[in-house]
Structure 1
Amino acid sequence: MGMIKGPAIFLAQFAGTDAPFDTLENIAGWAAGLGYKGIQVPCDPRFIDLDRAASSKDYCDELKGLCADKGVEITELSTHIQGQLVAVHPAFAPQFDGFAPEALRGKPLEQAAWAAGECVKAAKASRNMGLDVQVGFSGALAWPYLYPWPQRPAGLVEEAFAELGRRWKPILDAHEDQGVDYAYEIHPGEDLMDGASFERFVDAVDSHARACINYDPSHFVLQQLDYLGFIDLYHDRIKAFHVKDAEFNPTARQGVYSGFETWANRAGRFRSLGDGQVDFAGIFSKLTQYGYDGWAVLEWECAIKSPAQGAAEGAPFIARHIIEPTPHAFDDFAGAGTDRDAVRRMLGITA
């Protein structure tokens, strides 16, 4: 069995213009000071020059050295923003327009091409950094049609996933060239939002070996999905892990579909680690059982608690849950050795 690495923290929710959240050096020192051993770095120009990282191992070594000097290492690069733009339904295009370079605003096809190129650059940068996994989103074309009313025309979902596959297959092939997995965060708002939709996508990319999963149980709590059983089904594809808590408290007024309410007033909402309902003991046990040896990365989002408190509490919480795998069976002390003749006699096999 492998041993989970950590604790680590995803920097996206903390990035800002003021120190210590404004540069990679500053935020790395901040994370180390809280007890984190790793940082998951968004491909944000405040933290990384992706063009240089894709073309220069020396530059990547500089970034790794800078982080090491502060006491942390880079766990994965994140292309959530870029991955989102690979596929955007027109209904959401105005909301995602700000994710793209200014010159591409209002040009969804050009944005998709740019985003695909950025994900490929991040694969090359990951290889230059010695990383085997990149994390991000899939984007979405079918999401506005999630609820089947008005009735969907036959073939709509199939064509949406076929197109998603066409867009991602060349990106995944580029990841194969670099020996890097792309771990999709299974997330409402993306077309890859549960196990069934992930399976559709894997079929659409011809069971591509680099199409993997960034496991985040919080999104499954909000969907009332069996997040422990999910590990049993898809553990061979789970290559990254966001440690994020959530709670679901349905009332007579709202349930799973409560998205018109504010985050604080929803039946399902994200919480800081330990404040929600996620069974992290069960999750860490199952991941360890199946040999997951990647990072446990805090993704902090909470409708109530401050980010400062959430980040401070996250490192010790994760550290407490990491399991050191046992090197032997607990009942080995009672073993009597192996004697084939004795075994055969015990089974009544005398001939």
Structure 2
Amino acid sequence: MKTIKGPAVFLAQFAGDNAPFNSLDGICEWASGLGYKGIQIPTWESRFIDLDKAASSKTYCDELKGKVQSYGLEITELATHLQGQLVAVHPAYDLMFDNFAPDDCKNNPKKRTEWAVQQVKNAAIASKHLGIKAHATFSGSLLWHTIYPWPQAPNGLVEMGFEELAKRWLPILDVFEDNGVDLCYEIHPGEDLHDGVTFERFLKATGNHKRVNILYDPSHFVLQQLDYLKYIDYYHEFIKMFHVKDAEFNPSGKSGVYGGFQSWKDRAGRFRSLGDGQVDFKSVFSKLTKYGCDVWAVMEWECCIKASAQGAKEGAPFIQKHIIEATEKGFDDFAGGEIGKEQLKKILGI
């Protein structure tokens, strides 16, 4: 067993134009003051990191790491959710996802994809420079528009979709292998990797590439009505990252899993601040500890009701309360003793 590290916080939802959220120094001081021990850095936020520079300069990474450590924090992981999304975009989403790309890549899907691929590769090198062993991203999606197909999906469509997805990711995965970093896909609705079956399809399509791993976030499984505890039983060996985010699912006669195109606060499934939703975090932390998952517990705040300032303040003590110090001895060790082979035979009556 292994003790989960934390508490840590994902900075993506807190970055902004106003202090202390508009600089690395400011947000580090803020996070440390709330009791967090680590930060997960979104690499698309130039306020916090220059990803290209981090990939090309170990000195820059040493300075970045030193700055974060001066506030009593560690960089838990880097994240490329937005860039990873752009590795695979169905044309129906081109206009909306162009918002994630630099201006010189807009209205040019081919150039946008090439930029995204290089960004994720850069993140592998930057992670190595920072001494980080895991990285967070999205898979992107070529098939999501067929999730509830009408007309029915033609034979071979799904297989071709995952073959193409793997084809795009394999060169990236090889760079992660070269740099000794695990690539952890956040299993998330809207992505082609959104549950256990799709993760297995992708893993198989990559030839079981050893760097294909999972960022586990139970909130996304609550919204899908998937057993998020059994998921750990199935996939614990792949879980290398952990987002601590709460959610609830309250279906009615008018709205269910799909949400009716309503705002987040009116959906049956919605994200909540830690402790305000339905996730059984005691069991989640117990299972991850039992299986020896070597992860940071990183709060990702997304709530449609509670203010982010309150959610952040409550997050660190909530996570700290749930971290289990893994035992190094059995509770009944006091009653044991060394017994030789012949004595064992006598106990068995043989």
TM above 0.5, yes or no, is yes
* Local SS of the residue matching 2:215: strand
Give the whole-Å Cα distance in 1 for the aligned partners of 2:330 and 2:246.
32
Give the whole-Å Cα distance in 2 for the aligned partners of 1:301 and 1:158.
33
Structure 1 equivalent of residue 348 of structure 2: 347
Letter in 1 for 2:42: P
* Local SS of the residue matching 1:27: helix
Structure 1 equivalent of residue 102 of structure 2: 101
Report the Cα offset of residue 293 of structure 1: 2.1
- Equivalent residue runs for 1:54-73 within 5 Å: 54-73=55-74
For residues 254-301 of structure 1, the C-alpha deviation after alignment (integer angstroms, 9 at most, x for no partner) is 111215111000000000000000000000000000111220000000
* Local SS of the residue matching 1:45: coil
Report the Cα offset of residue 343 of structure 1: 1.2
Structure 2 equivalent of residue 328 of structure 1: 329
Question: What RMSD, in angstroms, separates the aligned Cα atoms of the two structures?
Answer: 0.8
Q: Does residue 275 in structure 1 map to residue 276 in structure 2?
A: yes
Give the whole-Å Cα distance in 2 for the aligned partners of 1:51 and 1:259.
41
Report the Cα offset of residue 41 of structure 1: 0.1
Report the Cα offset of residue 4 of structure 1: 0.5
Give the whole-Å Cα distance in 1 for the aligned partners of 2:250 and 2:37.
34
Give the whole-Å Cα distance in 1 for the aligned partners of 2:140 and 2:312.
28
Report the Cα offset of residue 337 of structure 1: 2.5
* Local SS of the residue matching 1:39: strand
Structure 2 equivalent of residue 134 of structure 1: 135
Structure 2 equivalent of residue 294 of structure 1: 295
For residues 189-230 of structure 1, the C-alpha deviation after alignment (integer angstroms, 9 at most, x for no partner) is 000000000001001111001010000000000001010110
For residues 131-167 of structure 1, the C-alpha deviation after alignment (integer angstroms, 9 at most, x for no partner) is 0011010000000000022211111111111100000
- Equivalent residue runs for 1:191-206 within 5 Å: 191-206=192-207
* Local SS of the residue matching 2:243: strand
Residue segments in structure 2 that go unaligned for 5+ positions in a row: none
Q: Does residue 38 in structure 1 map to residue 43 in structure 2?
A: no
Report the Cα offset of residue 109 of structure 1: 1.5
Give the whole-Å Cα distance in 2 for the aligned partners of 1:259 and 1:121.
39
Give the whole-Å Cα distance in 2 for the aligned partners of 1:245 and 1:259.
21
Closer/same/farther in 2, CA of residues 92 and 259 from structure 1, 3 Å limit: farther
Give the whole-Å Cα distance in 1 for the aligned partners of 2:110 and 2:239.
30
Give the whole-Å Cα distance in 2 for the aligned partners of 1:226 and 1:116.
33
Contact 1:29 1:71 in 2 (8 A): no
Letter in 2 for 1:13: Q
- Equivalent residue runs for 1:1-40 within 5 Å: 1-40=1-40
- Equivalent residue runs for 1:215-234 within 5 Å: 215-234=216-235
Closer/same/farther in 2, CA of residues 259 and 203 from structure 1, 3 Å limit: farther
Give the whole-Å Cα distance in 2 for the aligned partners of 1:151 and 1:327.
54
Structure 1 equivalent of residue 252 of structure 2: 251
Structure 2 equivalent of residue 118 of structure 1: 119
Sequence identity of aligned pairs in percent?
A: 62
Runs of 4+ in 1 over 4 A off after TM superposition: none
Letter in 2 for 1:41: I
Letter in 2 for 1:347: L
Give the whole-Å Cα distance in 2 for the aligned partners of 1:266 and 1:325.
38
Report the count of equivalent residues: 349
Give the whole-Å Cα distance in 1 for the aligned partners of 2:312 and 2:145.
34
Please report the TM-score for the alignment, with normalisation by the length of structure 1: 0.98
Residue segments in structure 1 that go unaligned for 5+ positions in a row: none
Structure 2 equivalent of residue 213 of structure 1: 214
